[in-house]
Amino acid sequence: MKNIFILLASVAIAGCSLSEAEETVAPIPEKTVEEINAERGDPCDCIDESLLAIDVFFDQMNAGAFKTSIEFNAEFSLTMQGCMQPLGHGPADVAWNSSMTECESFSVIREMMIMIQNSAEKLKVSEQEDFVSSTSDEGANGVLDRLQKGAN
């Protein structure tokens, strides 16, 4: 009986302390989609700024500055940082992308992105062809060994 009383008393005390802790934590108000995207600025200004960065990347790409798809992707990732980068808030990102489509220079950036995507695909295919041709004399075991070494 004494053990039951102690158990009930400790549950009651724990319950009181939890409710007090819960009351001291104020809920964090969530921002609306409009507030989130307002903090990003003007979507058309974002596209214009991004066009400048993409233009530099495009020049590097056409000059053959990227020898591997890893270099290519890393540099493109840096280029795309900033206002065009998704925030991870689905509705806000969708609304932001939709608002950018209304900008005058959207078609230009879209065309450049398609050309960049095509170049990335060509580079990847070229890397795969180089890998296959350089391992053709090694046989399956040689290819597996090289893949394993590349993974380490």
Residues 6 or more apart whose CB falls under 8 angstroms from that of 89 comprise 33, 36
- Report pLDDT for 108: 94
Residues 6 or more apart whose CB falls under 8 angstroms from that of 46 comprise 40, 82, 83, 84, 100
- Report pLDDT for 27: 62
- Report pLDDT for 84: 85
- Report pLDDT for 131: 78
CB 48 within 8 A of CB 105: yes
What angle, rounded to 10 degrees, do the helices at 139-151 and 106-135 form?
130
Neighbours of 113 (CB within 10 A): 16
- Report pLDDT for 5: 37
Q: Report the predicted TM-score, pTM, of the whole model to 2 decimal places.
A: 0.64
Helix and strand numbers (H, E) in the chain are 7, 0
- Report pLDDT for 139: 65
Q: What is the dihedral of CA 90, 96, 98, 100, to 10 degrees?
A: -150
| Per-residue pLDDT in tens (0 to 9) along the chain, 152 residues | 444 434 333 444 444 444 444 455 656 668 899 999 999 999 999 999 999 999 999 999 999 999 899 999 999 999 988 888 898 999 999 999 999 999 999 999 999 999 999 999 999 998 888 877 776 666 667 777 777 777 77
